Amino acid sequence: MTIADGTSQEADMGGLLRVGMVGYGFMGAVHSHAWRTAHRFFDLQLTPQLTALAGRNAAGVAEAAERQGWLSAETDWRRLIERDDIDLIDICTPGDMHSEIAIAALQAGKHVLCEKPLANSVADAAHMAEVARSAAERGVFAMCGFTYRRTPAVTLARRFVQEGRLGDIRHVRAQYLQDWLSDPDAPLTWRLDKQKAGSGALGDIGAHIVDMAQWVTGASVTDVSAMMRTFVTERPVAGERAGLGGTGSSEGPKGPVTVDDAAVFTARFDTGAIGVFEATRMALGRKNALRLEVNGTRGSVAFDFEEQNVLEFYDGSDAADAHGFRRIIVTEPVHPYVGNWWPAGHGIGYEHGFTHQVVDLVSAIAAGEQPRPSFDDALGVQRVLAAVEASAAAGSAVETVLS
């Protein structure tokens, strides 16, 4: 059902990339911001148009479309696939819907941006990647939303590794620490339901640090040994649409938590490096602390998203009287993306990674090139997640990441 239809009537909207988005929660809001903003700060060959927003709740999706600047609203995502005035589908739904929507969109000739993790299983992710490879041969492209790659300080860390400034990589230390589920009365949301989310902290935020570690180092995880834990096994049933950390009522009905609250694992990389990973939404006091430290034979880098405009760099060639980590303020226009924003020292925020994601996706589509991370890249992350779950289930036995 089309609720509101403000789309432009011109048949051939040359120069536009007309977007249909499914979902309008936290991710829907930040993706909407990115679609609205990218061409206003970056020179793009195609101008994104917020053509249609889809969501099951008629009143909710109409309000979100109005608020976020979408020209029309639908209550069935399949309408976005059917409409010939939509070029790209942006999937901001729980993970159990990613596969069906992405495959239908690609087979209908529409580009796809899909939130992470790619799917709730390796089987679904592999099917999506197979369809995406075939679609790419027809000039229809798919990207997975690992946005933290597009933080300037993270792109700098990767460049330092690529330039050999760290030497051979020995250690990778990655954490993603949040605390919005520390309160046992935080209500049950879809993120705590294995059928909807696939996994808990592991897939939600562990996926980010697996992708980031592999992207920054250029190495792939080959084996893991893991533990996973659910600290709060039942929670109040969510009343209103509880967002992150919304509070429920400890008196009302409760339901089971069927995913992990925390996942920790060691990892071996194909380069011989070893890693330690931790993902939890129970680290009281840590709000969005995505941290990465890479130690090499010639140098080290350290990043913490809670200070995302800074990269710490240790140059092993410094003279003894200058030994110490250097705080690089990554806001000079020499760095990717930064020059399009504010003067040096002003910094950027969480939402900028999503705008950078749109910039790179739109640029790749306009150039007829595969955007990264591709669905194959995201399938690689999914395989690591599956190995972690298998290892944890087998009492932390070493589990090989099957290719």
Binding site residues, ligand SOE, CB under 6 A: 26, 178, 204-205, 244
Least Å distance between CB 306 and ligand SOE?
12
Neighbours of 240 (CB within 10 A): 8
CB closest to ligand SOE, residue no:
204
Least Å distance between CB 321 and ligand SOE?
41
Taking the least distance from each CB to ligand SOE, the nearer of 74 and 115 is 115
Taking the least distance from each CB to ligand SOE, the nearer of 26 and 342 is 26
- DSSP string across 136-199: HTTT--EEE--GGGGSHHHHHHHHHHHTTTT-SEEEEEEEEE--TT-STTSPB-GGG-HHHHSS
Nearest CA among 124, 184, 123, 144 for reference residue 27: 144
Least Å distance between CB 21 and ligand SOE?
16
Taking the least distance from each CB to ligand SOE, the nearer of 175 and 178 is 178
For the record, the structure tokens of 362 come out as 């739109």
* CA 156/CA 275 separation, integer angstroms: 20
Taking the least distance from each CB to ligand SOE, the nearer of 244 and 398 is 244
For the record, the structure tokens of 353 come out as 């990674």
Least Å distance between CB 50 and ligand SOE?
21
* CA 159/CA 165 separation, integer angstroms: 9
Taking the least distance from each CB to ligand SOE, the nearer of 271 and 288 is 288
Q: Write the burial class of residue 203 (CB in 10 Å: 0-12 exposed, 13-18 middle, 19+ buried).
A: buried
Taking the least distance from each CB to ligand SOE, the nearer of 205 and 273 is 205
Least Å distance between CB 286 and ligand SOE?
12
Least Å distance between CB 13 and ligand SOE?
31
* CA 282/CA 277 separation, integer angstroms: 15
